Amino acid sequence: MKCRKCGAAAALELRRHNAAFCAPDFLDFFRNQVREAIRRHKMFARGERVLVAVSGGKDSLALWDVLLDEGYDTTGLYLDLGIFDYSVESKAKCEAFAARRGATLLVSRVADEVGAPVPVIKQVTRRPPCSGCGLSKRYLMNRVALDHGMDVVATGHNLDDEAATLFGSVMHWQTEALPRQSPALPSTHPKLVRRVKPLYRLSEREAAAYAFLRRIDYIVEECPFAHGATSIAHKEILNRMEEASPGAKHNFLFGFLEKARPVFERAAGVVLQECARCGQVTTGTVCAFCKLADQVKRAAGGAAPER
Amino acid sequence: MKVVLRNPRREVEVAGNRRVKDVLRDLDILPETVLVIRGDDLVTPDHVLREDDVIELRPVMSGGAI
């Protein structure tokens, strides 16, 4: 198999683009897709402060790598979920990457903020672990961004992540979730920082290939709580469709973004206000994060949050 | 050839000179879900692997709170 651009031996076949690329031309392709995402959705401009949420995985470190090379003003944020050795190792990967690139990394511990690490939140709430974890991550990303005067939060969500989330929402017709699914969510409240996903045009495998070819040391092991997660089941279904019909995931997501999302966006009319307790943005009186922290506190017998 | 699989880490032996796509099919692995790594390089599905090759099939899927 030959590289579509230079004719040298290819490193990666991209069936949905009916193409194959050698390593240097694939890296160019990857960077161009990130540039196109940023340009098309006006994600951020030079001079703006970008908070890059990093997990130690391939996607977020690949994203940070590209943005650093492109000369953007970035700061990393690692949220320590307290998930045993997995969190210890993933934090070490982020710190090593930041040190190698001479970049600033902020670290925030979920246990300090919610009152307990993710494994305890899982027990207390009796909800799937990914539920309390995702809620905490979204809340803390926004709050850290506000506290540090960041203009925008960038996450490493890729095409597979977005297609799987969309699939889940459609399977349950969660119409309230559909307008919120976008590569770029604008700030609709002074306390809500813009959120962008510059990798949404790139597949999970492309992000992994970029990280590998750039020799980024990322955590390959899966989060121990992700086993059996619905999002993974949806990804497996979509990958079978992709195998039978290359481009299926791309068409599903991009068709939604171009044709269906505007319809759901027009129909939605959400009023945002500030949480009576923490002052962060919510649609109710008390935000979901404060309710989660209350639940953790009650389970601990009213004791002060673990520090 | 030796095929290294991850999560959990394990190894399987595959006999003969085989194309990458045939090895993946035999192991019931979708090409979209792995990087095929040989040494410091990635190899494409049509690449013929030799008896003495060592390859890693590194999963690319992550999930959970996405």
What is the rounded CA–CA span in Å between residue A12 and residue A206?
A: 9
Q: What is the model's pTM?
A: 0.93
Q: Provide the token pair at A258.
A: 């171009």
Work out the average pLDDT over A148-157: 98
Pick B66's closest partner by Cβ from A157, A209, A240: A157
**CB atoms B64 and A225 under 8 Å:** yes
Q: What CA–CA distance (Å, rounded) separates A58 from A86? A: 14
User: Model confidence over A39-53: pLDDT tens digits?
Assistant: 999 999 999 999 999
pLDDT tens by residue, A224-253? 898 888 899 999 999 999 999 999 999 999
Inform me whether the C-beta atom of residue A203 falls under 8 Å from chain B C-beta atoms. Answer: yes
CATH number, span A31-268: 3.40.50.620
What is the DSSP track for A192-223?
S-EEE-TTTTS-HHHHHHHHHHTT-----SPP
Tell me the domain boundaries of chain A. Answer: 31-268, 271-307
Contact B65 A221 (CB under 8 A): no
Question: Using the 8-state DSSP alphabet, how is residue A78 labeled?
Answer: E
> For A261-300, what is each residue's pLDDT tens digit?
999 887 777 788 999 999 999 989 999 999 999 999 999 8
Q: In what order do the strands lie in the sheet with A105-109?
A: A105-109, A73-80, A49-54, A152-154, A194-196, A184-185
Q: Tell me how far CA of residue A78 lies from CA of A104, A106, A195, in angstroms.
A: 11, 6, 16
Kind plus residue range of the DSSP H or E element containing A130: helix A129-147
State pLDDT tens for residues A214-229.
Answer: 999 999 988 889 888 8
Assess whether pLDDT exceeds 90 at residue A303.
Answer: no
Contacts of A212 in chain B (CB under 8 A): 35, 37, 42, 58
**Is the interface score ipTM higher than 0.85?**
yes
- Contact criterion met (CB < 8 Å) for B35 and A208: yes
Q: Which residues are within 8 A (CB) of A138 and not within 5 positions of it... i.e. 6 or more apart?
A: none
Measure the CA–CA gap between A63 and A97, rounded to whole angstroms. 12
For the record, the structure tokens of A61 come out as: 């470190």
Distance from CA of A84 to the nearest CA of B (A): 16
Give the per-residue SS3 of B4-58. Answer: EECCCCEEEECCCCEEHHHHHHHCCCCHHHEEEEECCEECCCCCEECCCCEEEEE
- C-alpha to C-alpha distances, A276 to A62, A143, A296, A303, nearest whole angstrom: 38, 15, 19, 22
Residue A243 touches chain B, beta carbons under 8 Å? yes
Cross-chain Cβ contact B60/A157 below 8 Å: no
